[in-house]
């Protein structure tokens, strides 16, 4: 079986949650694998991320380079090409950094590329069988990947349970010299523009009435705001509502928007992509209202109503009004 590597994301000296998940993903490919963590960055923050990774992984490879003070996928890629052995399997998280780095890396390593895996079903000969989702989670597929030339695999954050023990005592090996300096960068990091805080801070809301595509028209937002007002809830939304510029970005729930921790989350006309669900933390009571009874949101919800929100929400409003007198 091929060697397995896991790429570790880290921030402010702390390993990302996915660092704890990739080790279990690797175990599903090969339970006997001695997985090596690869951690790239610079200085003391990198060192503390490596120490944390060493508690999860039996081996840690460190790439320390001043040019990686901000980790730029274009800078890391040639360094990984220099150190990842031919035929290895490299796991990365399927999020904005993994999506930036991994497809091109697979070409440079001449390895197969398998994106956004949610489960592994074992290896037979050179073929790794995995599970993916298509059509925004409305259909799943089994895929087979030829591992004979190695593979770069991105794994969906949250799809594998985290390693709770973190009882490894891995050795940190400095691979910086082998990784090299890399060619001059054709893409240079400038700055991070931090999201503006909007009129409502949905990360602090106890009750969120969250609106998705099912609202159909900007004018219909009034229905949601009226209902939220009488319930004492704040209005949040899914990505298409922000893309359409109907609500400000600060109201978007999801991995590319805000992470919310309400007590009650009412998803109205939201299909429930994994990116959206990834922004809901703290196990709230989730109510889903959607006219498509097969929408993935019903798998995440506690209670579901199969109804058109444009008809259902005004009726709910009326009933609450009556109740409150």
Partner 1 sequence: MEILVCVKRVPDSSENEIEVKGDGTDIERDDLVYSVNEWDNYAVEEAIQIRDKVGGTVTVVSVGDEETEEVIRREMAMGADNGIHLMDDAFEGSDGKGLATTLKALVDQGNYDLILTGAQADDGAGQVGGMLAAMLDYPFASLVNLIEVVDDNKIKVGREIAGGNQEMNEIDLPCVLSIQTGINEPRYVGIRGIRKVASVEIPVKGASDLGIDAGAVGAAGARVKRLDYFVPELGEGAEMLEGSTEEIIEKLIELLKAKGGIK
Contact set for partner 1, span 47-76 (CB under 8 A): 72, 74
Indicate whether 323 belongs to the interface with partner 1 (CB under 8 A). yes
CA dist 131 and 36 (Å) reads 23
Answer for which of 14, 69, 86, 138 binds partner 1 (CB under 8 A) is: 138
Answer for which of 135, 167, 169, 325 binds partner 1 (CB under 8 A) is: 135
Handedness of CA 213, 215, 218, 221 (dihedral sign): negative
Indicate whether 17 belongs to the interface with partner 1 (CB under 8 A). no
CB of residue 108 to partner 1, shortest distance in Å: 6
| Positions 214 through 253 that interact with partner 1 (CB under 8 A) | 231-233, 239-240, 242-245, 249-250, 252
Alpha carbon distances (Å) from 221 to 70, 108, 196, 234, 315: 40, 47, 22, 13, 15
Instruction: Kindly report the number of other CB atoms within 10 A of residue 255's CB atom.
Output: 18
CB of residue 220 to partner 1, shortest distance in Å: 16
Residue 229 contacts residue 319 (beta carbons within 8 Å): no
Q: Who contacts 325 (Cβ-Cβ below 8 Å, separation ≥6)? A: none
Handedness of CA 53, 57, 62, 68 (dihedral sign): negative
Residue 157 or 170: the one with the smaller Cβ distance to partner 1 is 157
Stretch that binds partner 1, among 39-47, 59-67, 217-225, 284-292 (CB under 8 A): 284-292
Binding mask 78-97 for partner 1 (x = CB under 8 A): -----------------xxx
Answer for which of 171, 222, 315, 321 binds partner 1 (CB under 8 A) is: 315
CA dist 235 and 204 (Å) reads 12
Indicate whether 283 belongs to the interface with partner 1 (CB under 8 A). no
CB of residue 189 to partner 1, shortest distance in Å: 6
CB of residue 187 to partner 1, shortest distance in Å: 4
Q: Nearest 5°: phi and psi at 164?
A: -80, -30
To the nearest 10°, the Cα dihedral for 258, 261, 262, 268?
50
| Positions 90 through 129 that interact with partner 1 (CB under 8 A) | 95-97, 99-100, 102-108, 112-116, 129
**CA within 13 Å, CB half, 88:** 22
CB of residue 173 to partner 1, shortest distance in Å: 27
Indicate whether 210 belongs to the interface with partner 1 (CB under 8 A). no
Residue 54 or 301: the one with the smaller Cβ distance to partner 1 is 301
CB of residue 305 to partner 1, shortest distance in Å: 5
Answer for which of 188, 201, 222, 281 binds partner 1 (CB under 8 A) is: 188
Indicate whether 146 belongs to the interface with partner 1 (CB under 8 A). yes
Q: Which of 239, 246, 250 is nearest to 278 (CA)?
A: 239
Indicate whether 303 belongs to the interface with partner 1 (CB under 8 A). yes
Tokens 């991105």 map to which residue? Answer: 154
Tokens 């390895």 map to which residue? Answer: 111
Q: How many residues form the binding site for partner 1 (CB under 8 A)?
A: 94
Answer for which of 31, 124, 167, 194 binds partner 1 (CB under 8 A) is: 194
Residue 287 contacts residue 227 (beta carbons within 8 Å): no
CB of residue 279 to partner 1, shortest distance in Å: 9
Beta bridge partners of 127: 124, 146
Residue 55 or 249: the one with the smaller Cβ distance to partner 1 is 249
Tokens of 243: 């893309």
């Amino acid at each position: 079986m091929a060697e397995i590597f896991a790429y570790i994301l880290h921030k402010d000296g702390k390993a990302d949650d996915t660092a704890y998940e990739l080790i279990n993903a690797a175990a599903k490919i090969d339970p006997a694998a001695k997985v090596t963590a690869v951690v790239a960055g610079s200085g003391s923050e990198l060192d503390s991320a490596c120490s944390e990774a060493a508690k999860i992984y039996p081996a840690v490879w460190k790439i320390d380079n001043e040019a990686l003070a901000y980790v730029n996928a274009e800078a890391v890629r040639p360094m990984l090409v220099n150190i990842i052995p031919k035929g290895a399997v490299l796991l990365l998280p399927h999020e904005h950094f993994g999506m930036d780095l991994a497809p091109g890396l697979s070409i440079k390593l001449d390895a197969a590329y398998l994106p956004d895996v949610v489960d592994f079903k074992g290896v037979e000969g050179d073929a790794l069988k995995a599970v993916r989702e298509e059509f925004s989670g409305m259909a799943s597929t089994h895929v087979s990947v030829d591992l004979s030339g190695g593979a770069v695999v991105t794994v969906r954050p949250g799809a594998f349970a985290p390693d709770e023990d973190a009882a490894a005592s891995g050795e940190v090996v400095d691979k910086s010299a082998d990784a090299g300096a890399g060619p001059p960068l054709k893409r240079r990091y400038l700055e991070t523009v931090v999201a503006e805080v909007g009129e409502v801070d949905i990360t602090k809301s106890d009750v969120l009435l969250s609106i998705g595509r099912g609202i159909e028209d900007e004018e219909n937002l009034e229905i949601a705001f009226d209902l939220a007002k009488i319930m004492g809830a704040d209005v949040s939304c899914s990505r298409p509502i922000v893309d359409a510029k109907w609500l400000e970005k600060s109201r978007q729930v999801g991995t590319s928007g805000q992470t919310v921790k309400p007590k009650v989350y009412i998803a109205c006309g939201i299909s429930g992509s994994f990116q959206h669900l990834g922004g809901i933390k703290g196990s709230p009571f989730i109510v889903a209202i959607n006219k498509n009874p097969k929408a993935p949101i019903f798998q995440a919800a506690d209670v579901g109503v199969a109804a058109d929100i444009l008809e259902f929400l005004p009726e709910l409003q009326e009933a609450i009004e009556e109740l409150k007198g």
